[in-house]
Amino acid sequence: MRGLMMNHPLLLTHFLERASMLYPKQEIVSRLPEGIHRTTYAEVFERVKRLARSLADLGVAPGERVGTFAWNHFRHYELYFAVPSSQRVLHTLNVRLFPEQVIYIANHAQDRVIFVDDVLVPALEKIAPSLHGVKAYVVMGGDPPKTTLKPLVRYEELVEKPASDYQFPSFDENEAAAMCYTSGTTGNPKGVVYSHRALFLQSMSHAMADTMALSDQDSILAIVPMFHANCWCLPFAATMVGAKQIYPHQYLQPEHIVSLLEEEKVTFSGGVPTIWTGVLDHLDKEKKDLPHLKRAICGGSAVPVALIDRMDRRGIRLMQGWGMTETSPLASLARVKAGLGDMGRDERLRLLAKQGLTIPCVEVRIADEKGDIAPRDGKTMGELEIRGPWVVSDYYNDPRSQQSFHDGWFRTGDVATLDGEGYIHIQDRAKDVIKSGGEWVSSVELENAIMGHPKVLEAAVIGVHHPKWEERPLACVVARAEHKGKITKDEILEHLRPHFAKWWLPEDVVFVESIPKTSVGKFSKRELREQLKDYKLPG
């Protein structure tokens, strides 16, 4: 027997239509090079219709890819809806990637048009001759700078044409809405294509009380770049609930972020750990508070306990979210579930530093090296596998797809444990876990503990060759500015000793000026290992 329900497609179009109708005066705020810009859902809706109609004039057919090379601002936000709602595919290009990676990605995706910020035109024009399928470039911002990009169109010219009679098409919810590429730490980046259905369901999960609890009462600052995993779906989810939205453009320095948090009375925000560390340091230095900010999601890399603690002491709930480009991206969120609330502060913080519980519709399991399913005992480590309605089922036009799946589950490449309560605890990336004397040592666990030292700003742990034990941990530590030259190896080891078995302790500690990072702000272990390839352990 079939359910007698309407077959109404789950399209992203619905979110903006609803917001423009129910919250027409709600603001979308952007910090631009020329100053603060304000618009509303009603105004954006009209501009999006004009922009959607213009895509056909640019020669982009339904199903073709529209690239963006841009920071976070209202025009990029308009593309988040104009492109997928008109049955095209939004492809956000990471502006921090090396030129050869951008070339590979744009050509592999077969981008037909690229929308580019005026401040990023010089970077794009250097690689434009190698972009074989691009028919036109659209410059967002003021007057187009002098450039070799051809043919060149001004964004505002596209939204000047009337489109009051434009009707967004209706189509299958499983058609592609957006496309992102992995960061490509090994080999070429891999393309992930998201359906309207996947992003619609992911956005709905963001409004659940046990996840981000987004609502129309929120003022949301999206710090995570719009070119990174669909900005963690925040533009879609915020529009769905009718929240105020704020975008920082390229101004990600702590003083700029804090000013937006203050001036726009932000209640919810999202960014990587390094962003929040910088914000807290700035607040401490300026002796400021953020009375309106109550919740923030943090991801991209493991969140140190010390960071959660610092935010908590300011009355801000920092939620560790875990996910990947392949999971749209949110898959789990750290929280204290019912029945576990009666615990001490330290125990609660340790729980919140795990990757948490899967959000509804998502399933996970742990597979050992033989592919057998490991027990949920919180101790047995193996590869984390996942499935769900917004988890990738295949990479775009990539022969590596087959090796990424196991019996219908996506292999994440993360080494993790899963306990009886359902808490995921990621120990490491499979390629970063340290194998010492036949046992696994988690670099992430050591890093988080080291970053809890008051004199430490950042820390990364890598495995280095050992003649007896195969590998041993090497801790690379960045001291806080006021403690440079004043912190020792012994201080680090004494800080770790009460919390780890002796064989887990780093074999050595080196102090470095900085730790290399990937285009999305994660520690680049590959680059760090290359820098230290000639390093020899003492004795």
Active site residue 182: yes
Same domain for 78 and 188, yes or no, is yes
For residue 324, being part of any structural domain is answered with no
114 backbone dihedrals φ, ψ, rounded to 5° = -125, 125
Residue where one domain finishes, among candidates 214, 239, 264: 239
Distance, CA of 22 to CA of 42 (rounded, Å): 9
Distance, CA of 202 to CA of 15 (rounded, Å): 13
Give the DSSP H or E segment for 411. strand 409-418
pLDDT digits 0-9 by tens, 403-413: 899 999 999 99
Which is nearest to 464 in space by CA: 527, 539, 536? Answer: 536
For residue 244, being part of any structural domain is answered with no
> Within 264-333, where are the H helices?
273-286, 305-313
Same domain for 516 and 496, yes or no, is yes
Distance, CA of 52 to CA of 90 (rounded, Å): 12
- In the set 182, 211, 277, 325, the catalytic residue is 182
Looking up residue 175, the CATH number of its domain turns out to be 3.40.50.12780
pLDDT of residue 469: 81
Mean pLDDT, range 420-441, rounded to an integer: 84
Same domain for 419 and 453, yes or no, is no
- In the set 326, 383, 385, 507, the catalytic residue is 326
Same domain for 71 and 167, yes or no, is yes
Residue where one domain finishes, among candidates 413, 429, 445: 429
- In the set 380, 440, 471, 491, the catalytic residue is 440
Active site residue 468: no
* Lowest mean pLDDT across 178-192, 197-211, 289-303: 178-192
pLDDT digits 0-9 by tens, 94-149: 998 889 999 999 999 999 999 999 999 999 999 999 999 999 999 998 777 789 99
SS3 at position 245:
strand
What single DSSP character describes residue 151? S
Which is nearest to 135 in space by CA: 235, 44, 66? Answer: 66
Looking up residue 346, the CATH number of its domain turns out to be 2.30.38.10
- In the set 135, 285, 431, 435, the catalytic residue is 435
Active site residue 390: no
Looking up residue 485, the CATH number of its domain turns out to be 3.30.300.30
Mean pLDDT, range 73-82, rounded to an integer: 98
For residue 517, being part of any structural domain is answered with yes
Active site residue 326: yes
Same domain for 474 and 357, yes or no, is no
Judge whether residue 152 has pLDDT over 60. yes
269 backbone dihedrals φ, ψ, rounded to 5° = -150, 165
238 touches 224 (CB < 8 A): no
pLDDT digits 0-9 by tens, 358-371: 999 999 999 988 88
Q: Where are the beta strands (DSSP E) in 162-224?
A: 176-181, 191-195, 219-222
Domain range holding 466?
434-531
pLDDT of residue 164: 74
pLDDT of residue 1: 86
Distance, CA of 89 to CA of 181 (rounded, Å): 13
Which residues does 490 contact at the CB level (< 8 Å), separation at least 6? none
Same domain for 444 and 523, yes or no, is yes
Same domain for 385 and 516, yes or no, is no
pLDDT of residue 434: 85
Q: Which two tokens stand for residue 164?
A: 């009051």
Judge whether residue 418 has pLDDT over 70. yes
Distance, CA of 182 to CA of 184 (rounded, Å): 5
Judge whether residue 431 has pLDDT over 90. no
Confidence of residue 184 (pLDDT cuts 50, 70, 90): low
pLDDT of residue 186: 59
Residue where one domain finishes, among candidates 429, 453, 469: 429
* Lowest mean pLDDT across 52-61, 145-154, 185-194, 231-240: 185-194
253 touches 207 (CB < 8 A): no
Judge whether residue 160 has pLDDT over 80. yes
pLDDT of residue 185: 55
Same domain for 392 and 459, yes or no, is no
> Within 290-394, where are the H helices?
305-313, 345-352
> Within 132-264, where are the H helices?
155-158, 196-206, 234-241, 254-263
Mean pLDDT, range 348-375, rounded to an integer: 94
Same domain for 49 and 155, yes or no, is yes
Same domain for 93 and 163, yes or no, is yes
Which residues does 144 contact at the CB level (< 8 Å), separation at least 6? 118, 121, 152, 154
pLDDT digits 0-9 by tens, 214-234: 999 999 999 999 999 999 999
Q: What percent of the chain has pLDDT over 70?
A: 99
For residue 30, being part of any structural domain is answered with no
Same domain for 196 and 93, yes or no, is yes
- Count: domains in the chain: 3
For residue 326, being part of any structural domain is answered with no
pLDDT of residue 283: 97
Same domain for 172 and 85, yes or no, is yes
Distance, CA of 280 to CA of 275 (rounded, Å): 9
For residue 93, being part of any structural domain is answered with yes
For residue 287, being part of any structural domain is answered with no
For residue 190, being part of any structural domain is answered with yes
The pTM (predicted TM-score) of the whole model is: 0.87
